[in-house]
Amino acid sequence: MIAASAAMAVNPYVAKVYEFCPAPGQFIHDVPILTDDMTPEEVIAEVESQLCGNDDDGAAPGMVSLGAFGGYVVFGFDHPLVNVKGEYDLRIFGNSFRGMIDDEAYGSSEPGIVMVSVDTNGNGIPDDEWFELAGSEYHSEGTFHNFEITYKRPADNTTGVSWTSNDPAAGEGSVERTQFHTQNFWPGWYAGETLTFRGTRLAPNAQNTAEEGENWVLHAYDWGYADNLPNDEDPGLKLDWAVDAQGNPVELEQVHFIKVYTALAQNCGWIGETSTEVCGAQDLHPEALAGIETIASSRPDDAPEVFFDLRGIRVDRPTAPGIYLRSQGGKVTKIIVR
């Protein structure tokens, strides 16, 4: 089946949030403000209000916290994100910072793994295979692939949130409460008694640099994660880094869905658990689609139909499932073949 949409207008910033499932953490209910009696639709609407669009600095109007390890958000643009070979394709904004004071390091990097997916079945929802963008720590000795953690709903708000995992060296623990956050750490709009997450867990990046007391520094990794480098230092992410579940490189021409999840499972004393924050995202080369529109629209109004794939390569009338552009009479429309 072929369906046509209106002429394309490419917005380089987040346009839709598909899923939001944070793990327990100190900013749950506060970043953003959510209540336990909210419906799933109301939760998504509030998260969209934080992540969609951009301000003068490029970041979104607000921020969402993903909680401890595994907590995630899934979002997309109003168009497929195109892989421009060798180039950075995507920037995800966070609130990481770092610096030096009197020769002492300070900073907070809370890295999140980024995954991408192609709408292979054409149904417009993120239920196809996911691919991890393999960052600098993917092959590091301290990285735990296929890590699984299960959090248990606490009986009340006076204790931390306990968890168990498949790590033989750290089979159980808890998300510890802090003196600064007294609200419920558990995302109460979920009815279940447990929350289970699976993914790649990075080695701890936190260091207590104080000889006495606590002065926590969360060091940045080299590249390839959300909320890792400060926004003004982060060059972005490449779809070229995509790997499948077995770690094999995959070539993706385009993706439709982006997932970010907290990649660390650590507590840092008085500052609490490490939790990735997301402040929007940007397609770094929307002209990859706009250029296709320019090429196609330059044809005379009485020209016959012409079809292009999302790389701008002319194709015969499309029959394989996917997204194409059709030019006819000077007008460009998006074609979805299901």
Evaluate if residue 335 carries a pLDDT over 80. no
Angstrom distance (rounded) from CA 64 to CA 227:
11
Mean of the per-residue pLDDT values of the chain = 88
* pLDDT computed for residue 315 by the predictor: 75
The residue to which tokens 């609407």 are assigned: 45
> What Rg, from alpha-carbon coordinates, does the chain have?
22
SS3 string of the chain?
CEEECCCCCCCCECCEEEEEECCCCCCCCECCECCCCCCHHHHHHHHHHHHCCCCCCCCCCCCEECCCCCCEEEEECCCCEECCCCCCCEEECCCCEEEEECCEEEEECCCEEEEEECCCCCCCCCCCCEEEECCCCCCCCCCEEEEEEEEECCCCCCCCEEEEECCCCCCEEEECCECCECCCCCCCCCCCCEEEEEEEECCCCEEECCCCCCCEEECCCCCCCECCCCCCCCCCECHHHEECCCCCECCCCEECEEEEEECCCCECHHHCECCCEECCEEECCCHHHHHHHHHHHCCCCCCCCEEECCCCCEECCCCCCEEEEEEECCEEEEEEEC
Can you tell me which residue has the tokens 């982006």?
258
Q: What average pLDDT does range 96-104 have in this prediction?
A: 76
Q: What's the pLDDT at 210?
A: 86
pLDDT computed for residue 303 by the predictor: 59
Is the confidence at residue 285, as pLDDT, over 60? yes
- pLDDT, tens digit (0-9, with 9 covering 90-100), for 35-79: 999 999 999 999 999 999 876 556 667 999 999 999 999 999 999
The answer to whether the predicted template modeling score (pTM) of the entire model surpasses 0.85 is no
pLDDT at 59: 60
Q: What is the rounded average pLDDT of the residues 214-239?
A: 96
Q: Which residue has the higher pLDDT, 106 or 102?
A: 106
Beta-bridge partners for 149:
165, 197
pLDDT tens, position by position, 176-221: 998 888 888 999 999 899 999 999 999 999 999 888 888 899 999 9
CA distance 142 to 20: 28
